[in-house]
Amino acid sequence: MIGALRRFKLTLIVGCFTIVAMLSELGARDVFPAWVGVAVALFPVVLFALTKPGESPLRVVRVAHLIASIWYLVLASALLIAFGSRGASVELAICAIGAAVGAIPCGTVLYQTAVDRYLPSDDSNGDRR
């Protein structure tokens, strides 16, 4: 699973930059500064990057990755709904594809957490699958 986290960071980054593009296109810069939109969009990537198995306690890593995944999925879904309410277009399709790419690691984290196989517990010897 740790190797999968490394591979999935790029997909999450693509998704987060898609969120930045949607915020920009929806005119969010009129509501708050651009740096706030970038910070909100990149929050999941930052949580994934700063909490790594082996560097932080596994319980903290699990909770941080779960929060990042939920944050991303809720934000991407809300923005796609807002974007879609403006009418179907090529931009919506491109944003939906970008958001889906970013949802891959988040969906993986949520699924693995739901079946209790995300990361080994702190007291195990790592043999748990």
Residue 123 lies in a domain: no
Residue 127 lies in a domain: no
Residue 99 lies in a domain: yes
Mean pLDDT of the chain: 83
Quick one: which of 66, 47, 40, 42 has its CA closest to 119? 66
Residue 39 lies in a domain: yes
**Total domain count for the chain?**
1
Residue 93 has pLDDT above 50, yes or no: yes
Residue 73 lies in a domain: yes
Alpha helices (H) along the chain: 2-25, 34-50, 58-84, 90-114
Q: Which domain holds residue 30?
A: 2-114
Residue 106 lies in a domain: yes
User: What's the pLDDT at 12?
Assistant: 86
Residue 43 has pLDDT above 50, yes or no: yes
User: Per-residue pLDDT tens for 55-89?
Assistant: 889 889 899 999 999 999 999 999 899 888 877 68
Residue indicated by tokens 């779960």: 66
Angle between helices 2-25 and 34-50 (to 10 degrees): 170
Residues sharing a CB contact under 8 Å with residue 14, sequence separation 6 or more, in sequence order: 98, 101, 102
